[in-house]
Structure 1
Amino acid sequence: VRRNILIVEDSSRVLQEITGRLSRTGFTSKTPIRSFDPRSPEPFILRRGHDQIHITSFKPAAAQAVQETSYALAFFDFLVHGEKGTAFMGDVIIHMLKKQPLCPVYLINGGSPENQIKSMKTEARRIGADVDIDRLVEEKRLRPFFKSADRICEVIEAALRMPQAVAEPQDPPQIK
């Protein structure tokens, strides 16, 4: 089973740290992250076996990814590149929470967890979305998170060690 992970982040330093650490665990990419254009409409992709990590710093690319791909895990910085200047990701995060209820969403902008949650509530009101942010946090579907490349990689590595989703039973390993 292929598992996809989404990282929406525009700090090239953080992205270089993440890709560097993941490449040590066997993830590979066609090009180095340094040559990745942050406004690229295509995500930067890391692969290992069936698993893929999609990285983007561009809001339209993130919105398209959420629309077209099913994710096991997602990390969102609040402020990334938009069509014109900086764009706030709140509406895309809310769309993700509604469209992919099984995918935990980590908020990785700076700032305290309280402020991250406050920003999400403000955004939900602004776009008139019927979502209970407090309940999503309680259910651990929305997870405020201090941004650190190491912690992001730890969460990814732990998730990829977990057994596959129950919905798709796996054949037991064959004893050779």
Structure 2
Amino acid sequence: MKRPYHAQCFTWHTCLRQLAGQSFYQDGRSLCERCYQDTLEKCGKCGEMVWEHIIRALGQAFHPSCFMCVTCARCIEDESFALGSQNEVYCLDDFYKKFAPVCSICENPIIPWDGKDAFKIKCMGRNFHENCYKCEDCRILLSVESGDKGCYPLDNRLFCKQCHMKQSAAGCC
């Protein structure tokens, strides 16, 4: 520590244990092994001290091997993760597989793609991808805005305004 000490003076000021001849740790101050261990954080999962690499998440410290996806058990180190309703940790792939809404047309989950959020359309209690939200007659993409390309449902089917009027007229006669 670049300064001379008497053996009886080389102590940790909290526990007053002599450090001479013992292992000690230094982080700007000298700590005996027991006092150093008391400064270490405990893992939020296993409760053991975290000695080396620490993952900080959810206001706690974790061993890398303890911070993992509850579904696939893959370690989640520095990647994004999501929480379930009971604060269980999921990798994003498994979270989307389990919780993402499913498009009622293509039956695939509506999830972010290439780092961009997915835009989910909800109509008649059903979910749709933007590209699946089409008139069931003429197949044009429908808009969430009202107007000619807006959605005009009829008998639980999606129609644009023009096809809605055509289907309505055909049903009346």
> Which interval holds the TM-score relative to the shorter structure?
under 0.3
| Structure having the larger proportion of residues in helix | 1
| TM-score normalised by length of structure 1 | 0.19
| TM-score normalised by length of structure 2 | 0.20
